[in-house]
Amino acid sequence: MSELTLSVGPQHPGSGHFRLIICVDGDTITKATPDPGYVHRGIEKQAEYREYLHSIPLLERPVISDSNGSVYAYVLAVERLAGLKAPERAQYIRVLMAELNRIMSHLYWLAIYGIFLGHSTMFMWPFGDREVVIDLAQRVMGARLTYSFFVPGGVRNDLPHGFKDEALRATEFLEKRLHEYDAIFFKNPIFVERTRGVGILRHDDAIRLGVVGPTLRGSGVNADARKDEAYDVYDTFKFDVPAFPDGDCYSRALVRLEEIKQSIRIVRQALESIPEGPFRIRHPSVLKPPQGSVYSRTEAARGAYAYFIRSEGGKTPYRLKISSPSFRNLLAFQFLMKGSHLADMPTIYWSLDYWPLEADR
Amino acid sequence: MYELSPVIEDEEIARRVAEQFPEIRIEISALNRINLEAPHYCLPQLAAYLRDIEGFDHVASVTGIDYPDRNLVKVTYHLGAYAKLTIRRLVLSVSVDLPRQDAMTPSLVSIWPSAEYHERETHEMVGVMFEGHPNSNLLLLPEDWIDLPPLRKDFKLRGR
Amino acid sequence: MVWYERKLLAKMQVRVGPLYAGRFEGILQPIADFVKLLFKEIIVPRPADRFFFLLAPTFMMALSVSLLALIPLGPTYVIADSNVAILMIIALLSLSPLAIMIAAWASNNKYSLIGGLRALHQMTSYAIPLSLSTLGVVVLSGSFSLVSVVESQRNYWFILLQPLGAVVFFLAGLAELERVPFDVPEAETEVVMGWETEYSGINYGLIMTAAYIKFYALAVLFTVLFLGGWLGPEPVPPLAWTILKTLLVVTLMMIPRGAYPRLRIDQMLRFGWTWLLPLSLLNLVISLVEVPLLR
């Protein structure tokens, strides 16, 4: 058969609008070119017209399944720029909410992986269990997915009464479910067949291509912004950064499963040792940071999120640059899909956890 | 190899770079943040030095800032390191100042493949030419974009 | 049976399944769906070959119903007993790839064609082990007639004498029915619905019904060939035994749908040729050896 050029997307059964142009020769993919940009909304430009506080709802929209991950880095950046420091209780709350979001995002990822592989149970179970975590979030922050909860200087409100017990019960429930997931999904012979040895990204290639997040850790590089450059109170928690050396889709899936377990660990420690105190410091509502630039990074669910803000002393940032993990993983598409079966394309695509909204901003 | 405290290690790196490249301005702006300002012609050698000797193996992001009042465009490469554990905490920024009308700088894709998409985005958003870049097609903007690069200050959002 | 499957799947997935149609837990849901399909417009795509496009679902229905007619549910409950029932069943099953190709080709649609070709590959590859696994039973019972097959299971059910054959038949049967984990032709991310893509309304209803009848037929066939058909202790009437055993088989066939993702086509074909085919041959040899032993 001669070469065929397929266009996968922009509407397709995965998540978000993104086009992948694939050249197929028979059953083998010879070239895969990503074509992002369908959901580009010019968020960086819009942020230049808004005050620092007003950009927060704007900036959490790109990554709705893990909105705290993106806003966290922004809030840290603004704090460093303006010379504010959040009180300790607020830092604990922020860590708690960020980890809950990580769990939510990974469960969502697992569910959609089920759709891509044709396993409807793998779609139903994580979505159902995710509701438990979303309920917790709703109790604290009032919304299910996008919260506008993190602000420079702390968080918008305190934890409600009885939150600790609810959260602990939720973590016990999740742990039990994770055992079941391991048995039914991760040890499922067909799941293993379809993901083992597929889309292998070697250690040095992962470093060279500059990928981030579970894609990187699935290739044996255990870099994690929470450990490399501990922000807020992450340095007081004991947790591991899982990394598996194989570099195939199965390793990347395992990394995410392990990360949920580690997040549960952090949540428990945070609930035990959270101190009393204020949850927000007072500052003028219109922030006017002095002239300067700042680069901040956090570890969101999909990888390292970074913000570069340049301020010229005004009410609005002079330049806001967002470095999102999905954008940094774009190179992996070209690299990994070359030479694989056509039927492996969805498997590889989703194991990279590409979120078009986040990449396009 | 003995363990250096982060502050001392940052200063060591700054000192070594200053020795190799006397025409570069170096500043340690905060903990774990080193900023370099370089003229664009020594970018390739600086990049090779940073990658091979210092161990910065990937580009995390490329930012372009437009300063119409100073008539320049500043392009900043933010570098990170994965393989060398002691500098994982470090983000090194390399900035070049380019004239607004004719912003051209050598592309660093041959040294850091991870820069490819970042340079492409900066090209379409700020209007900077990266010489030697493998693919200069528009990435995020629609294919029929004929207006100014959006992140230039003369491109104003309607209604604001 | 459609309702049973949907409820079973729902329970496996911590859901409830159909709930509202009909007083009892949505039992009228499949009927509601079917009636809805009856009301839909029959769309035949303009570039499609009208005659064959409309022929294919009818052909499939005919195949499935004939299959059902040949299988005895009780000592006297058989619509068309035949001395060569097994041979006829194998022949009928081999016709189903033809029906699918007619549907795929007549649709005049790139994705239908790809799906149809994949279904063709799958069904022809798995038809051979399916047929061979029945031959073991034939050897043991000495006849191609299904009634005598059941009668010769008075001493031992064949599943005990022919475990390999039963397993091969079960798996090959799942593949013939295009059920998970073998549903590559039906629901890939690129081929929309495979060869069923262009079918809507009553045509789709006919195809779906034909598929479910075939499902049921293969399940009863499994019961007849390996589980002793209607044989069982007296107080329970023979027909009830058949129904109970078939229900068990049907449940077993439905469970993989909730438990497994889809196999990739080359993995599936490799599995059929490297494992099922040799196992069915081995089974045949074993049964040939068992015959003198049992005398």
**pLDDT at residue number C165:** 80
CB distance from B49 to chain A under 8 Å? no
Q: Is A293 on the interface with B (CB under 8 A)?
A: yes
Report how many domains make up chain B.
1
C11 touches chain A (CB under 8 A): no
The tally of CA atoms less than 13 A away on the side-chain side of residue C174 is: 26
Task: Tell me whether residue B100 is in a domain.
Answer: yes
Domain membership of residue B158 (yes or no) is: no
Residues C27 and C67 in one domain: no
Contacts of A125 in chain C (CB under 8 A): 13-14
* B113: CATH: 3.30.460.80
For A210-261, how does the pLDDT look when each residue is reduced to its tens digit (9 = 90+)?
888 898 898 888 888 888 888 888 888 888 888 888 888 899 999 999 999 9
Encoded amino acid at A45, one letter: K
Inspect the interface and report whether the beta carbons of A321 and B89 lie closer than 8 Å.
no
Give the C-alpha separation, A248 to A256, whole Å: 13
Tell me, what's the pLDDT at C191? 46
- Identify whether residues C49 and C30 lie together within a single domain: no
Write out residues 204-263 of C within 8 Å (CB-CB) of A: 257-263
Total of domains in chain C:
2
Please tell me the predicted confidence (pLDDT) of residue A128. Answer: 86
Give the domain range for residue B76.
6-131
Q: How is residue B11 written in tokens?
A: 């200063």
Mean pLDDT computed over A90-96: 91
Is B152 a domain residue? no
Q: Are residues C130 and C8 in the same domain?
A: no
Question: Does B72 map to a domain?
Answer: yes
pLDDT bin (cut points 50, 70, 90) of residue C17 is low
CB contact at 8 A, B43 and B120: no
A103 confidence band (pLDDT: 50, 70, 90) = very high
Q: Does residue B125 register a pLDDT over 50?
A: yes
The answer as to whether B99 is a domain residue is: yes
* pLDDT of amino acid C27: 67
- Model pLDDT for residues C190-233, shown as the tens digit of each residue: 545 556 666 777 777 788 788 888 888 888 888 888 877 777 76
In chain C, alpha helices (H): 2-12, 29-39, 50-70, 85-107, 110-141, 146-151, 158-161, 163-176, 201-226, 238-259, 265-271, 277-294
- The mean of the pLDDT values for chain B is 85
Q: Spell out which residues of chain A touch residue C171, defining contact as CB-CB under 8 Å.
A: none
Of A120, A184, A343, the CB nearest to C264: A343
In a domain, B157, yes or no: no
Nearest by CB to residue A210, choosing from B58, B141, B160, is: B58
- Over residues C68-108, the pLDDT tens digits come to 887 777 766 666 667 777 888 888 888 888 888 888 787 77
> B156 lies in a domain?
no
Quick check: C14 and A124 CB within 8 A? yes
Which residue has better confidence, C259 or B102? Answer: B102
> Which residues on neighbouring strands pair with residue A322, listed in sequence order?
A307
Q: How far apart are CA B140 and CA B148, in angstroms?
A: 14
For A137-158, what is the mean pLDDT? 87
Measured between alpha carbons, how far is A204 from A225 in angstroms, rounded to an integer? 19
Report how far residue C205's alpha carbon sits from residue C199's, in angstroms, rounded to the nearest whole number: 9
Residues C10 and C155 in one domain: no
Q: Is C16 on the interface with A (CB under 8 A)?
A: no
Write the pLDDT tens digit of every residue in B128-140.
888 888 887 888 8
Whole-prediction pTM: 0.85
Q: Give the residue from chain C lying closest to A27, CA to CA.
A: C266
Q: Rounded to a whole number, what is the distance in Å from the CA of A36 to chain B's nearest CA?
A: 6
- Per CATH, which fold does A40-360 belong to? Cytochrome-c3 Hydrogenase; chain B (1.10.645)
Please report, for chain A, the start and end positions of each structural domain, with discontinuous segments joined by +.
Answer: 40-360
Distance from CA of A269 to the nearest CA of B (A): 24
pLDDT at B1 over 50: no
Structural domain span for residue C18: 1-39
Chains touching chain B, criterion 3+ CB pairs below 8 Å: A
Q: Are residues C226 and C270 in the same domain?
A: yes
DSSP state of C8: H
| Residue of A21, A116, A119, A187 to mutate for C, most C C-beta atoms under 10 A | A119
Q: What chain B residue is nearest to A317 in terms of C-alpha separation? A: B65
Q: Which chains touch A (3 or more CB pairs under 8 A)?
A: B, C
Q: Nearest C-alpha of chain B: how many angstroms from A45?
A: 6
Q: Pairing relation of β-strands A28-35 and A19-25?
A: antiparallel
Per cent of chain B over pLDDT 90 is 4
Other beta carbons within 10 angstroms of residue A72's beta carbon come to: 27
DSSP states of A170-217 = HHHHHHHHHHHHIIIIIT-HHHHHHHTTSS---HHHHHHHT--THHHH
Q: Which of C255, A151, A35 is nearest to B142 (CA)?
A: A35
Residue B20 pLDDT exceeds 50: yes
- What is the sign, positive or negative, of the torsion defined by CA atoms of A299, A305, A310, A311? negative
User: Average pLDDT in the A41-53 region?
Assistant: 88
Does B2 score more than 60 pLDDT? no
Determine the distance in angstroms separating the CA of B23 from the nearest CA of chain A, rounded to an integer.
Answer: 22
Pick the more confident residue, B10 or C154: B10
Dihedral (CA of C276, C280, C285, C286) sign:
positive
- Contact between C109 and C198 under an 8 Å Cβ cutoff? The reply is yes
